[in-house]
Amino acid sequence: MTERIQKLREQSLQAINTFSAERAILVTDFYKSGEPLKYSIPVQRALCFKYLMTHKSIFINEGELIVGERGPAPKATSTYPEVSLHTLSDLDILDTRPKVSFKVDDATRKLYEEQIIPYWKGKTQRDRIFENLSNEWKQAYEAGVFTEFQEQRAPGHTVAGKKVFQKGMLDFKAEIDAAIKALDFEYDTQTIERREQLKAMDIAADALILFANRYADLLTKLSEEETNAVRKAELVEMSRICRKVPAHAPDTFHEMLQHYWFIHVGVITELNPWDSFNPGRLDQHLYPFYKQELEAGTLNNEWAVELLKSFWVKFNNHPSPPKMGVTAQESNTYTDFSLINLGGVKEDGSDAVNELTYILLDVIEEMRILQPSSMVQISKKNPDRFVKRAVRIVKTGFGQPSFFNTEAIIQQLLSQGKSIINARNGGASGCVETGAFGTEAYILTGYFNLNKVLEITLNNGIDPLTNKQIGVQTLSSEEFKSFEELYNDFEQQLMYFINLKIEGNNIIEKLWGKYMPVPLLSLITEDCIKNGKDYNAGGARYNTSYIQGVGLGSITDNLTAIRKYVFDDKTVSMAYLLQAMKVNFEGYDQLRHDVIYNTPKWGNNDEYADRHAVRVFESFYSSVNGRPTARGGIFRINMLPTTSHVYFGSKIGAMPDGRLAFEPLSEGISPVQGADRKGPTAVIQSAAKIDHIKTGGTLLNQKFSPSFFNSEENIDKIVSLIRSYFKMDGHHIQFNVVDADTLRDAQKHPEKYQDLIVRVAGYSDYFNDLGESLQNEIIRRTAHQA
Amino acid sequence: MNYNSGFIFDIRHFSIHDGPGIRSTIFMKGCPLSCIWCHNPESIGFHPETYVRTNRLNGKIFHITETVGKKMSVEQVMNEIENEIIFYDESKGGVSFSGGEPLSQPNFLKALLKACHQKELHTAIDTSGYASTSVIQNILPYVHLFLFDLKLANDSEHQKYTGVSNQLILKNLEFIYHSGKPIIIRIPLIQHITDTDENLRKIRAILQLYPHIKRVDLLPFHTIAKSKYERFGKNYPLYHADPYDSQKAKDIAAFFSETVETVSIGG
């Protein structure tokens, strides 16, 4: 790593996350002026964006090669009071909480108290949303049945497609102009709306050019002051580049990175879309520039790496905007989920891995920073060398990259009606979400707590934590005569809450489309210009809204335990089980022991348990999939949690699988923590029983001890494991390397670590079954290897 | 004895030390040897045994009685195996039969091997080599690889530490070698017992008789098995032995590397 990159990386790692009021005060000033009232809402939003791009502070970090940030300093994080307004007490919490804090200084607090809060109070998008939602919706939301993504961040999960890298803002402006000229005032009744949207997009394009020119000016000034000849030349070149992109399409490697970065900063300044923004298939987009310049002799590998690393640091300087309330709990991380995609297939279906793919993997390994996240798309057409290279990075233990199945992604997209070209150009973003990059608005609308629905079912529609009737009133669960009766009631409650969630989504999506258009994001997303329609109103070629199911492992084990003890073995009555749950298993140690240690569990390829996972999955799928959305798209499901399994767990009492009250649920489609005792092939066999192709993404985590990665043979075996799962249509798998701390926790909570296997030649044993001194020995060895 | 069933004490999938690729290992119960360093003490007896297992929860101890070893039919074992075929195919792996001593249940083993053969699966036998040569001859057509133990070259030492003579074992090694089936030699490294200069020199001399053996796995003694002895209430003569010195294992690997193409520590 060069000294420059070391410094920039260090600066980014050391920077303290701060709460910046700069954007909030600029937006407030803009709206206070009264000027916006003269224009339509889309044009208002575009002018607001232009105002921000004109007035926000700009700066250049020492030595950096890619310029432009959202805040006034690295990790100074903007807020969006027109969307959701932080209160003074939110500021205190953010300032002082131990995890994911944002420092708030006195000047910021004063601005909030005196100007920002008084102006926006009661007038935010969040206020509009909550005013329009029903009491039933609010009750379910407060009980933790579901979360709502769009109540404080804008609809997002959008990834740049190929076009973004091949066109400049002037090209887009020409397209907008043509679209305005083509408006049909005689036969199209929506022309005024379309014209306003297109005008707004045109203003947004200008605003981004203006922003880049400010950087060009600053760079010119700095270059004139610079005494070091090498840096001076860099600054002159950077100034030239900022003068050229994003107005014009990029022609060089450096230009392309800068071009994308200006658009990235624009999108995340315009509003606060979930999952920031994402360059998507970076190795594909960059490769033509790389190859052409390499052949022409204007770029060498060393410089390409230097530029990429400078680019990497920029992502890390942009934490996810500070959230509040429930949303802060469900997504408790600084990560803003820009997920770089590598590998996969080209648009013609051929192997897409190229030299640059490997260079990017080197960059990921060396940078070792939180953002951007990275993933590899593994196609059957990709060479094993590529998969192995990625596995060797996993071995270093920082959780990246994750592994995705290209063929599954393509099948998912095709089954949703996308063209084969759009499908092959797609990938996964955020955590694991499948999307047709550049052409689809695939919006996550909230997590859905499957286990809360079961808890409510077992309590006849009542939430036992509050004693409120929030679900459908049904028979007393003590009267269930069969498992089928119980499951029918569960499906009834499930449909009720899905209906509530969808009713809420339809209201919320309309409000976004009407009040919060995003002209910049729209103009770069195909076919918003052609349709003269905003991204948030359904302007994209494809529109999908997702509801994310959480806790498949937990609900499977819960249903399995009920089935076994109450209905099959009949050794425990429903009343007894409910009583044990009510008192959090206090005094019911034997029952809790039996359900934890002596009951079939999801993740062991045991059909007795696994059939419940498939059944719940199908019930969830059929209650959501294919229903129409307010943006003219359709609803779909995926199975991922971010950190919501922790939040959802905190809203549920003790459950039949022995999980104590308020403890986390299982995440993604992974087994309940530690419940998989038969090794990774059994986990994969279980996981593959649900139909991944029907989803827009599933998440599976697997633990391995670091010593497992020590031999080349074992790395080959991981490659085979991944390939096998993907043959079975698995969507995603991620490997976590177990560290010494995890093992120490396993000593304290053996029931959560039944899956930990210690492998020695010719021998393997469960960590739990080892004596304490041996456990200590393994902990020492693990710590040493790290 | 019914040919179509036998005693199994464990089936492990994603087994990574018992042959190439991703494998399932079928651990067959019962062994005619009684090596004092045995890592699987529960595998020695030929019939199911019960023991008390300890589960901990919330600081409390729960004892449950479990049985190790169960009678399984060929069909039951094959069901477990067939589930995993996708992994064998992808990794060029297969099924390993270990123990105990798999050759001690010859008819059951042969029936299983034939069933694997029918499914075109790669099979490996992890053996002490202690069985009648006719047993080996019988299964030979259905085996792709032998993992063959060489413990002690001196017969009286062999008898002292494993309970049986090594003459039959050496004869069987020769027999398998001349059949042309690939062999991986496995040598347990036990301090002061198998790792003496004299023993290692002699084992190497034996290997030099068989130049087509391309690989030796050294299996250094580890202490993890002592929990198993505790669990099964068995006496472990090596209870207080230290874990094997990793440098010493490397030195021994270098010694074998002089005459064998591939030497791995840990298999």
Amino acid identity of residue A542, one-letter, is Y
Residues in chain B, total: 267
Q: What pLDDT was estimated at residue A365?
A: 95
Domain harbouring B180, CATH code = 3.20.20.70
Helix (H, G, I), strand (E, B) or coil at A256: helix
Average pLDDT for residues A283-308, to the nearest whole number? 98
Q: Are strands B70-73 and A468-469 parallel, antiparallel or unpaired?
A: unpaired
Amino acid identity of residue A370, one-letter, is L
For residue A63 the two structure tokens come to 């030595």
- Could you give the angle at which helices A483-515 and A552-562 cross, rounded to 10 degrees? 160
What share of chain B in percent tops pLDDT 70? 99
Q: Which residues of A touch B57 (CB under 8 A)?
A: 589, 592-593, 596-597, 750-751
CA A382 to chain CA mean position, Å: 25
B57 domain residue, yes or no: yes
Of A82, A234, A330, A431, the catalytic one is A431
Q: Which of B96, B41, B94 has its CA nearest to residue B69?
A: B41
B29 domain residue, yes or no: yes
Rounded distance between C-alpha atoms, residue A125 and residue A264, angstroms: 23
Rounded distance between C-alpha atoms, residue A560 and residue A608, angstroms: 7
Amino acid identity of residue B126, one-letter, is D
What share of chain B in percent tops pLDDT 90? 82
DSSP A414-443: HHTT--HHHHHT-EEETTTEEE-TTTEEEE
Q: Which of B266, B259, B79, B75 has its CA nearest to residue B187?
A: B266
CA B72 to chain CA mean position, Å: 20
Residue A62 designated active-site: no
pLDDT tens digits along A684-739: 999 999 999 999 999 999 888 777 887 888 899 999 999 999 999 999 999 888 88
- Largest pairwise CA distance in chain B: 58
Rounded distance between C-alpha atoms, residue A487 and residue A475, angstroms: 12
DSSP summary character for residue A525: S
pLDDT tens digits along A67-83: 999 999 999 999 999 99
Is the predicted pLDDT of residue A773 greater than 80, yes or no? no
Q: What pLDDT was estimated at residue A767?
A: 82
User: A786: pLDDT confidence band, cut at 50, 70 and 90?
Assistant: very low
Amino acid identity of residue A693, one-letter, is I
- Dihedral angle computed from the Cα positions of residues A545, A551, A557 and A563, in that order, rounded to the nearest 10 degrees: -40
Scanning the structure block, which residue is given the tokens 């032998």? B146
State residue A440 phi and psi, 5-degree precision: -125, 135
Mean pLDDT of chain B: 94
Indicate the burial class of A503 (C-beta count within 10 angstroms; 0-12, 13-18, 19 or more).
middle
Average pLDDT for residues A534-548, to the nearest whole number? 97
Average pLDDT for residues A81-95, to the nearest whole number? 95
DSSP A599-638: S--TTS--HHHHHHHHHHHHHHHHHHTT-B-TTS-EEEEE
DSSP A443-461: EEEEEEEHHHHHHHHHTTT
Is the predicted pLDDT of residue A515 greater than 90, yes or no? yes
Q: What angle do CA B125, B126, B132 make, to 5 degrees?
A: 75
Q: What pLDDT was estimated at residue A362?
A: 97
B244 domain residue, yes or no: no
Domain count, chain B: 1
Average pLDDT for residues B127-141, to the nearest whole number? 98
Rounded distance between C-alpha atoms, residue B164 and residue A757, angstroms: 33
User: A759: pLDDT confidence band, cut at 50, 70 and 90?
Assistant: low
Whether A721 sits inside 8 A of B18 (CB atoms) is no
B99 domain residue, yes or no: yes
A765/B contact by beta carbon, under 8 A: yes
A724/B contact by beta carbon, under 8 A: yes
pLDDT tens digits along B6-33: 999 999 999 888 889 999 999 999 999 9
Rounded distance between C-alpha atoms, residue A43 and residue A41, angstroms: 5
DSSP summary character for residue A780: H
Mean pLDDT of chain A: 94
CB atoms within 10 A of CB A660: 15
Q: Which residues of A touch B219 (CB under 8 A)?
A: 761-762
B14/A contact by beta carbon, under 8 A: yes
Interface test with B, best of A677, A763, A766, A768 (most B CBs within 10 A): A763
Q: How far is A350 from chain B (nearest CA, A)?
A: 21
Cis peptide before A372 (omega within 30 of 0): yes
A685/B contact by beta carbon, under 8 A: yes
CB B66 within 8 A of CB B53: yes
A589/B contact by beta carbon, under 8 A: yes
pLDDT tens digits along A602-620: 999 999 999 999 999 999 9
CA A144 to chain CA mean position, Å: 20
Residue B120: give the domain boundaries: 5-187
A775/B contact by beta carbon, under 8 A: no
Q: What pLDDT was estimated at residue B231?
A: 83
Q: What's the ipTM?
A: 0.93
Q: What pLDDT was estimated at residue B58?
A: 86
B214 domain residue, yes or no: no
Q: What pLDDT was estimated at residue A784?
A: 61
For residue B249 the two structure tokens come to 């294992």
DSSP summary character for residue A695: S
Interface test with B, best of A774, A781, A784 (most B CBs within 10 A): A774
pLDDT tens digits along A305-353: 999 999 999 999 999 999 887 777 766 788 899 999 999 999 999 999 9
CB A437 within 8 A of CB A159: yes
pLDDT tens digits along A107-141: 999 999 999 999 999 999 999 999 999 999 999 99
Average pLDDT for residues B139-150, to the nearest whole number? 98
For residue A460 the two structure tokens come to 């006849």
What share of chain A in percent tops pLDDT 90? 85
Is the predicted pLDDT of residue A760 greater than 70, yes or no? no
pLDDT tens digits along B65-105: 999 999 999 999 999 999 999 999 999 999 999 989 999 99
Q: Which residues of A touch B22 (CB under 8 A)?
A: 681, 717, 720-721, 724
User: B234: pLDDT confidence band, cut at 50, 70 and 90?
Assistant: confident
Q: Are strands A440-449 and A732-737 parallel, antiparallel or unpaired?
A: unpaired
For residues A30 and B66, which has the higher predicted lDDT (pLDDT)?
A30
Q: What pLDDT was estimated at residue B224?
A: 80
Average pLDDT for residues B169-182, to the nearest whole number? 98
- Dihedral angle computed from the Cα positions of residues A324, A330, A332 and A336, in that order, rounded to the nearest 10 degrees: -90
B174 domain residue, yes or no: yes
Rounded distance between C-alpha atoms, residue A338 and residue A261, angstroms: 12
Residue A48 designated active-site: no
Interface test with B, best of A607, A755, A764, A779 (most B CBs within 10 A): A764
Helix (H, G, I), strand (E, B) or coil at B218: strand
A/B interface, count of CB pairs below 8 Å: 110
Choose the weakest-confidence range: A35-39, B93-97, B240-244.
B240-244
Option in A589, A681, A769 nearest B57 (CB) = A589
Count Cα neighbours of A44 within 13 Å in the Cβ-side half-sphere.
19
Q: Are strands A440-449 and A433-435 parallel, antiparallel or unpaired?
A: unpaired
- A225-235 burial, b at 16+ Cβ within 10 Å, e below that, comes to ebeeeeeeebb
Rounded distance between C-alpha atoms, residue A434 and residue A659, angstroms: 31
Is the predicted pLDDT of residue B2 greater than 70, yes or no? no
pLDDT tens digits along A144-168: 999 999 999 999 888 999 999 999 9
B156 domain residue, yes or no: yes
pLDDT tens digits along B38-68: 988 999 999 999 988 889 998 899 999 999 9
A768/B contact by beta carbon, under 8 A: yes
Whether A723 sits inside 8 A of B227 (CB atoms) is no
Average pLDDT for residues A370-381, to the nearest whole number? 95
Order of strands, sheet of A634-638, starting from the edge strand that comes earlier in the sequence: A440-449, A542-550, A634-638
Minimum CA–CA partner of B57 in chain A: A751
Cis peptide before A319 (omega within 30 of 0): no
B71/A contact by beta carbon, under 8 A: no
Q: Which of A494, A502, A385, A398 has its CA nearest to residue A450?
A: A494
Rounded distance between C-alpha atoms, residue A749 and residue A130, angstroms: 41
CB A315 within 8 A of CB A373: no
Q: What pLDDT was estimated at residue A738?
A: 83
